[in-house]
Chains A and B, each alone.
Chain A
Amino acid sequence: MENPYIPYPVRIDEIKTETEDKSLKTFKFVFLNPEDEEKFSYRAGQFAELSIPGIGEIPIGIASSPTEKGFVKFTIFKTGKVTSYLHSMKEGDIMGIRGPLGNWYPWETLEGKNVVIIGGGFAFTTLRSSIIYMLDPENRQKFKDIHVIYGARSPGMLLYKDELESWAARDDLNMHITVDSCDDPEWTHHTGFVPTVTEQEGPAGTEDTYAIVCGPPIMIKFTQPVLDKLGYSEDRIIMSLENRMKCGIGMCGRCNIGKEFVCKDGPVFTLQQLNQTPKEY
């Protein structure tokens, strides 16, 4: 019997501070046993439980893409007990990861379609994974137009800045970066909130266009009417939820929205599915 609670041991290979306020760091992990990397085979949109022995376990979206080999990456916001401890850890330290867990963005459905990715704040992690995945030379031709709308409070709060710039320079991806406000005269991207930029730059919600939306509740709340206006039907709006989790495998009972478990049946749901469940997220 496979024990779903045992984490794979990993070593912290690299830690990168992402934002100017130092509240977000990206951790790159390498598996201690190379065969575990095989077993940890994932799709963009899934998450894992990061396990720190003696401290606890937390669910975190996988920020690296399945097309990137030899490591896995997570970007973590410092907030409570486990995340604070993690932020104090050093390269070389040993910990564990357990997963991959949950479902993923519906890549089969998205093939041959236009994809617009809308992200805000630090909920951009699995979206990074998705972008890298779609831009992989093997995969790019599977998708039609790709739009990315990503916003943060200020330029210093944007994640993955180097990558953002390199995506903006490409011609096979429409990149719309925005910040709430900015007094830097050199700033070449948008200023304004994500919903507004979506309204201006977002493609029309045709039959073969899907939106993936990830961000703080307030952003989601105001983006939804915009997508409505652009013509996106509920089944073509895809969202990823966060609920408090422990087991990640549908057993401990806390993350449910109605009869669905966010950890096992989600975290990815269409808006259509969400409208049929209690709003307990």
Chain B
Amino acid sequence: MKSYTDNIKEISKRLLKEDKVDMVIGYRTGSVPLMHQPFFAQNQEEVDEFVWDSNCGLNLANYITDRTERIGILATGCNSRNIAVHIVEGKIKREQLYIIGIPCKGMVDRHKLSAMADGDITSVEDENNGSITITGQNFSKTVDKAEVLQENCSVCVHRNPVIYDELAAEEVTEQKRDDVDPYARVKEIEALSPEEKWAHFDDLLSDCIRCYACRNACPLCYCPLCFVDESNPQWVGKSIDHTDVRTFHFLRAYHCAGRCTDCGACVRSCPVGINVRDFTKKLEKDCLELFDWEAGLNTEQRPPLDTYRPDDPEEFIK
């Protein structure tokens, strides 16, 4: 995706030169394959470090919470929606931001690619033609990008940014809900019996070490003191008791309901590869079905669990 990178650099340099922003937040090339680093540039040389390809997975909305500078920021579909959520929730002002919209073709899943490789991957080439080539000491393999996309990207229906000041490339064709079913996995779980569901979630969380990387990678989890960290009262114990682990995951998912954009940063960051999207995606589906709501599509409306409407589908609230 050379042209993406070039355009991003050009726009960023212009913004800094014209003193429209104090910094531009993007990514620079990582020191290991599949891992680019969120990075802020304040001058032309730093902008030259910018890169864009399918390894830019961590959500940049994380980096603008409560900042006071004028910020240029790259935003894919999901990132732009998280920026919108931030604006609605008062974590940043729209006027502070110059949003460089990135029509997104999806991020690759490093767990899947590693599992396909015959050894350690030393370099990844994104051909920008729908294929990815991974190379290691004794192998080189070209795979179809669609097969190694992060799961959230492969079912994404908002690839183009929803708010932006300028696009860095032409819009991409959106996937339609008729072509990809974003909730196929949720439906599989919904179809399980209560016992099977319990077993599924038990297994899902069995390796969790409660490092909270999933929470910290999430732009929604900006609370100064997370409920799991509170000591007075202490809601959750701190050792690896299964009840506490579940409590953390269930409650966090609910705190994100109607706000989560399925950016996948949580799953990407988990050191033990837990698919916490099994929780958040279900709540996303519920919000769509019950409230006809998708998070972060505009900068005015507050999320449904935060508002009251007389036509609320739940009886108890009326």
Q: Quick check: do A and B touch in the complex, using CB within 8 A?
A: yes
Q: Point out residues on A near B: beta carbons under 8 Å.
A: 80-81, 84
The residues of B that contact A84 with a CB separation of less than 8 Å are 232
B193: interface (CB < 8 Å) = no
Provide the bound-state CA to CA distance between A80 and B234, in Å.
Answer: 11
Tell me the smallest distance from the CB of A57 to a CB of chain B, in Å: 13
Asked whether any CB of chain A lies closer than 8 Å to the CB of B138, the reply is no
Closest 6 pairs (CB-CB, A-B) = A81-B232, A81-B231, A80-B232, A80-B231, A81-B234, A84-B232
What residues of A have a CB within 8 angstroms of the CB of B231 in the complex? 80-81
CB of B59, distance to nearest CB on chain A (Å): 30
- Chain A residue at minimal CB-CB distance from B231: A81
Instruction: Provide 6 A-B residue pairs closer than 8 Å at the C-beta atoms, listed in order of the A residue.
Output: A80-B231, A80-B232, A81-B231, A81-B232, A81-B234, A84-B232
- Cα separation A32 to B232 with both chains bound (whole Å): 30
Query: How far, in Å, is B233 (CB) from chain A's closest CB?
Result: 8
Bound CA–CA A81/B231 (angstroms): 7
- Please, how many angstroms separate the alpha-carbon atoms of A80 and B225 in the complex? 15
Q: How many residues of B contact A (CB 8 A)?
A: 3
Distance (Å) between the CB of B237 and the closest chain A CB?
Answer: 12
Closest to B232 in A: A81
B234: chain A residues at CB < 8 Å are 81
- Name the residue of chain B whose CB is nearest to the CB of A83: B232
Chain B residues whose CB sits within 8 angstroms of the CB of A80 once the complex forms = 231-232
A83 to chain B, nearest CB (A): 10
**How far, in Å, is A52 (CB) from chain B's closest CB?**
14
- For B234, the closest partner residue in chain A by CB is A81
Q: Which residues of B contact A81 (CB under 8 A)?
A: 231-232, 234
Shortest beta-carbon distance from B110 to chain A in Å: 30
Residues of chain A within 8 A (CB-CB) of B232 are 80-81, 84
Residue in chain A with minimal CB distance to B233? A81
Nearest CB in chain B to that of A56: its residue: B231
Q: A252 to B234, alpha carbons, bound, how many Å? A: 21
Instruction: Say how far B232's CB is from chain A's closest CB, in angstroms.
Output: 5
CA distance A84 to B231 in the complex (A): 12
Tell me the complex Cα distance, A84–B232, Å. Answer: 10
Query: In the bound complex, how far is the Cα of B232 from the Cα of A267, in angstroms?
Result: 26
A253 shortest CB reach to chain B, Å: 16
Smallest CB–CB gap between B230 and chain A, Å?
A: 10
Kindly state the separation between the CA atoms of A84 and B233 in the bound complex, as whole angstroms. 11
Q: Quick one: which of B231-260 are within 8 Å of A by CB?
A: 231-232, 234
Q: Whole-angstrom distance from the CB of A85 to the nearest CB of chain B?
A: 10
Alpha-carbon gap, A93 to B185, bound state (A): 55
Q: How far is the CA of A245 from the CA of B234 in the complex (A)?
A: 18
Q: How far is the CB of A187 from chain B (nearest CB, A)?
A: 37
Interface residues of B in 57-104 (CB under 8 A from A): none
In the bound assembly, the distance between CA atoms of A80 and B231 in angstroms comes to 8
Contact string, B194-233, partner A, CB cutoff 8 A, digits 1/0? 0000000000000000000000000000000000000110
> Bound state CA distance, A175 and B234, in angstroms?
44
| Alpha-carbon gap, A81 to B234, bound state (A) | 9
Q: What 0/1 pattern do residues 164 to 185 of B give for CB contact below 8 A with A? A: 0000000000000000000000
* A64 → B minimal CB distance (Å): 28
Q: Which residue of B lies closest to A80 (CB)?
A: B232
* A118 → chain B closest CB, angstroms: 32
* Closest CB in chain B relative to A56 CB, distance in Å: 9
In the assembled complex, the CB of A171 is this many whole angstroms from the nearest CB of chain B, namely 47
Min CB–CB distance A80 → chain B (angstroms): 5
Which residue of B has the minimal Cβ distance to A84? B232
Q: A30–B271 Cα gap in the complex (Å)?
A: 49
A85 and chain B: residue at smallest CB distance = B232
**Nearest CB of chain B from residue A211's CB, rounded to whole Å:** 36
Within the complex, the shortest CB–CB distance from A47 to chain B, in Å, comes to: 21
Chain B nearest CB: distance from A55 CB in Å? 10
Determine how close the nearest CB of chain A comes to the CB of B134; give it in whole angstroms.
39
Q: How far is the CB of A119 from chain B (nearest CB, A)?
A: 28
